[in-house]
């Protein structure tokens, strides 16, 4: 669910007050969130031979349609409805941009160099630093 910018601001300010050691940023990076999906979908979404579908190279719209449908409960799911309800539209979009840039081939056949370039391209597409 999208939170209003004002609510986010208030939340951020009160969090800062509570923890003061950290200036709490607004959002995790698409990359950092996407890494969290690896135990099911493969490293960087690059698993192509299992029941859990690959995410690497998925077009942004296809990713967003799927995730929004899981979140709203309009697409049948065993686990993804629960996962999708953890993310805002903005967060989903950042992950969508990042996954779209990952190579469409198994992780085992991807070199570190190749992946670092792809991960950087993903971060740039998601409009993040690096």
Partner 1 sequence: MSQFAQSLSNGKLGRRELIKRFGISAVAASGLFGASKNAYAKSAPHVVVLGGGVGGSTFAKYLRFADSDVKITIIEQYPEYITCLRSNDVIVGYHTLDELTFNLDTVQSKYQVNVIIDKAIGADFDKKTVTTAKGQVIAYDKLVVSPGIDFKFEDYEGHSKELAETKIFHGYKAGPQTLALREQLLSVPKGGTAIIAPPQNPFRCPPGPYERASFFAEYFQKHNPTAKVIVLDPKDRFTKDGPFKKAWERLYGYQTDNSLIEWVSGSDGGRVLSVDGKNNSVETMAGTFKADMINLIPNQRAGKLAQILGLTDASGWCPIDRFTFESSLQKEVYVLGDSTIADAMPKSGYSANSQAKVCAQAVADTLRDRPLTKSVYANVCYSLAGDNYGVSIAAIYEVRDGLIQPKGKSEGVSPITDKPAQPILEAVYQKNWQREFVKDVFS
Binding mask 23-62 for ligand HEC (x = CB under 6 A): ----------x--xx--xx----------xx-x-------
CB 112 within 8 A of CB 105: no
| 5 versus 29: smaller Cβ distance to ligand HEC | 29
| 9 versus 79: smaller Cβ distance to ligand HEC | 79
30's CB contacts (< 8 A; 6+ apart) are 91, 93, 94, 95, 96, 97, 98, 122, 123, 126, 128
Binding mask 73-102 for ligand HEC (x = CB under 6 A): ----xxxx--x-----------x-------
Which tokens sit at 63?
Answer: 């990713």
| 57 versus 121: smaller Cβ distance to ligand HEC | 57
Helices (H), 1-130: 5-19, 30-35, 38-41, 60-72, 80-84, 89-100, 112-125
Q: Applying CB under 8 A, which residues contact partner 1?
A: 1, 15, 18-19, 21-29, 32-33, 35-43, 47, 50-52, 78-79, 82-88, 91, 107-108, 112-113, 115-117, 119-121, 129-130
CB 84 within 8 A of CB 70: yes
Name the residues that contact ligand HEC, by CB under 6 A. Answer: 33, 36-37, 40-41, 52-53, 55, 63, 66-67, 77-80, 83, 95
């Amino acid at each position: 669910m999208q939170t209003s910018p004002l609510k986010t601001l208030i939340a951020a300010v009160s969090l800062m007050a509570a923890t003061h050691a950290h200036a709490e940023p607004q959002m995790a990076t698409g990359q950092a969130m996407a890494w969290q999906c690896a135990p099911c979908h493969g490293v960087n979404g690059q698993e192509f031979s299992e029941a859990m579908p690959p995410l690497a190279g998925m077009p942004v719209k296809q990713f967003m349609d799927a995730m929004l449908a899981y979140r709203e409960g309009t697409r049948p799911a065993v686990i993804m409805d629960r996962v999708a309800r953890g993310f805002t539209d903005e967060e989903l979009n950042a992950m969508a941009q990042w996954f779209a840039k990952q190579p469409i081939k198994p992780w085992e056949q991807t070199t570190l160099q190749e992946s670092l370039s792809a991960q950087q391209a993903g971060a740039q597409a998601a409009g993040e630093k690096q």
